[in-house]
Structure 1
Amino acid sequence: MTTPSQPGDGRLDPSLSAIMSERRHLINLAYRLLGTLADAEDVVQETYARWYAMSRQRQEAIESPGAWLTKVAGRICLDLLGSARARRESYVGEWIPEPLPDRTEWINGRSGGATVDPADRVTLDESINMAFLVVLESMTPAERVAFILHDVFRYSFAEVAEIVSRTPAACRQLASSARRRIRASQAPAIPAAQRAGIVREFKKAWEAKDIDALISVLAPDATAVADGGGLASALLHPVQGGEQIARGLVEIADKAPGLMFLERTVNGQPGLVAQQDGVTVVVMAFDIAGDRITHIWGVRNPEKLRPWTTG
């Protein structure tokens, strides 16, 4: 975004530093609400455009610029969530939130080589893991906005009400409904080291094309979902059952003998990146219960993989 300046005198806007300091917060908010970095960046761009479209007098009359920016960004996200539902009904195959890249390997913390500014500005916590984001996709736009603003970003229901144009009591009910969805979907937490070990076992079994080993690390009722964004070779429907998933994974490995699997952090948790001839072709996130993998989300849509191939 171009740097705004004082009208007519060429000097930097004295409020620029304070206003731009809100950018990280807005990116964090918009990513959680929309599920893609590109859309989050667009929302932040539009939010700032609306701020600088106002006269200096109107800007100075706003008591809390940060609160104003959050309110505007929240409303833009709410509108986009409504239209996104219609777009995703016509999406080819399954739609999965865009995986958020991290520069570190989860085994030893070394840099993985990819440097992505938007991801660097998104705070990694439990509210951006893939299982959490997938549940958010099942909520109504108002539920999602109310829940994220109140439970994740700690805004009061009075503040949330101004964004979703409902009463504080109604917003409280929306957040409560969303909270029940989250709780119903969550498996008991397991230590990070144990989670990493299970994903590593999965990776080794896949590399060895060992169907029995894959079955042993997958829950019997596991589900695998692929987002190919219309790629002809991508799965259009989820695959159910550990054995079916294992056989499908071995079939993929047979068809792509040069596939390389990298251990990378995906949305704050141990995940895998598959590369073909140095190009990222799949990013995988996992949900785990006990000592078995219960969900696999594999993103193949080239648009969603763009941040993983930058840097």
Structure 2
Amino acid sequence: MSSTLGVGAAFGIPAATLVVEYWNWHTMFWICVGLGVLDILLVLLLVPESTVRTSGRFDIVGALGLAAFLVCLLLAVSKGSAWGAGPTIALALGAIAVVPVWVWFELRTVCPLVDLRVSSRPAVLFTNACALLIGFAFYANSLATAQLVQEPTWTGYGLGASIVVSGLCLLPGGVAMVLLSPVSARISTARGPRFSLAIASVLMAAGYVVRFFTSHSIAGIVLGATVVSAGTAIAYSALPALIMHAVPVTETAAANGLNTLMRTVGTAICSAIVATVLTTVTVSKGDRVAPTLSAYLIVFAIAGLAAAVAAGLVALIPGRRPAGAS
């Protein structure tokens, strides 16, 4: 089920390119509205309610504090080169200042948005760190692929392909994610989700090695993107399993919600960093400006490093104790 998050994104981008190519790009927003309404109806009609309940209330202050931290952080990363040193430093300091206040409040409120005591357990902490890095590595693959093949031929490396072709380059990765989702579950059943996450992280890092050396042909780009997507499918299946094994049953909803949030934060940070690199390391011809090949290689190196660090962090996730162990 968790892998469908990545599958949806992998198929969503090719579908979006068709909409943008043959209709107005504003249409995408209306399509998303329709899908959101459909989701609400399907949840109400088909998804059974959980019988496990815990009392509590929504932590508004905690949510606002977390939102303030993320806004300051992401604005500093994405707008730093455009806004200059002053606003960037102010935003970074603002993000840093929010953290201790938010932690202090979350540790003292009765119903925290994030139970930091549970989240600080090694099994949860390192799994969430891996989720952030995996989310980063996954999204860099989608963003870079979609733009790389569209770069003009005058750059010396660009293929000058249409937006539809760029989306279709991601389609094999989506198919791979669909096929590997059940395989990942079987690997986790046989060897444990920690083993699956390690394999996934290494596979994603290997995919970026491929991407680093095959950016001049459609076939090479598709191959590298598909390898990264395959690793993503296995990782997205293993992450919630690790969380479910590490927290009490009454904490599973909040813990999985936080893990999903970490993936989303990873993709948000990724989009900011990729945009910054591709708009900073550029080449020009007349009044035309485009990223250099080095810009894409920097993105691949950063994303590959993120996946490699995730593989290292997996070793810090405690293994499950055998049943009956003290």
- Tell me the TM-score normalized by structure 2: 0.22
If asked which structure has higher relative contact order (CA below 8 Å, sep 6+), I would say: 2
Higher strand share: 1
